[in-house]
Structure 1
């Protein structure tokens, strides 16, 4: 299948496919006589795997590792679990950071309702 068809089936653009090829996430397909990339049907599954992993917050480096683990046997499950636990811990830390930022912004926005003695903005002052 050609680049445009594959990209359409999985909801990415053709540049993403080429980028994934360069990164080694997607095998470089053979070319047709006319020079077009000719992806196998299995590329759809690989790309869906990549997209699902990204939706769960995995980095492309981690996705590459997960793809390699997917080729392994039952022992790969433990390594995949360790990656997922690490990603879960990282996401929890990011959520805590985002919550702190949200709360700090809420406090600053709340100051906008306070009367001002001059025309200075309390929110902008806090950012200096």
Structure 2
């Protein structure tokens, strides 16, 4: 079994040492042992897990959700349908975010149109775009 130090694991996994330590606190990436001096040791399996975590983060899963996926993966009773439910829930969240972003985009376009209508020579402190944003906060 190849033993990796925390620094080697971090470098090979493309993260910082503090990230590895944080993942340990969360219980999603634990050392396989320690040296006599107390330094953490990791295995190739740890590196594979770290790469899995990073890949799932790219799919917009939170660390809490990643822990749930890892727990499912290690479970003797969890089914593929349980993992699918997690993915479907993530899609629902993404669709909600998309809806919110479309609303924000439309509001910004409306503000830009108001700004364009006032001309380019208006001073920033009189900009209708900023005035509209300010008035929407009330």
TM-score (norm 2): 0.84
Shift, 1:96, TM fit: 1.1
Q: Whole-Å Cα distance in 1 between the matches of residues 105 and 29 of structure 2?
A: 38
Where do residues 9-88 of structure 1 align in structure 2 (5 Å cutoff)? 9-73=12-76, 75-88=78-91
Q: For residue 113 of structure 1, give the secondary structure of its aligned residue in structure 2.
A: helix
CA-CA distance at 1:58 after TM superposition: 1.1
Count of matched residue pairs: 128
Residue pair 2:34, 2:40 contacting (<8 A) in 1 also: yes
Shift of 1:75: 4.4
* Structure 1 residues 67 and 52: CA distance shift in structure 2, 3 A: same
C-alpha offsets along residues 16-49 of structure 1, whole Å, 9 cap, x if unaligned? 0000000000123421123321111110111111
Give the drift of 1:4. 1.1
Q: What is the alpha-carbon distance in structure 2 between the residues aligned to residue 30 and residue 18 of structure 1?
A: 14
Which sections of structure 2, spanning at least 5 residues, go unmatched? Answer: none
Matched, 1:8 2:20: no
Q: Tell me which protein shows more strand as a share of its residues.
A: 2
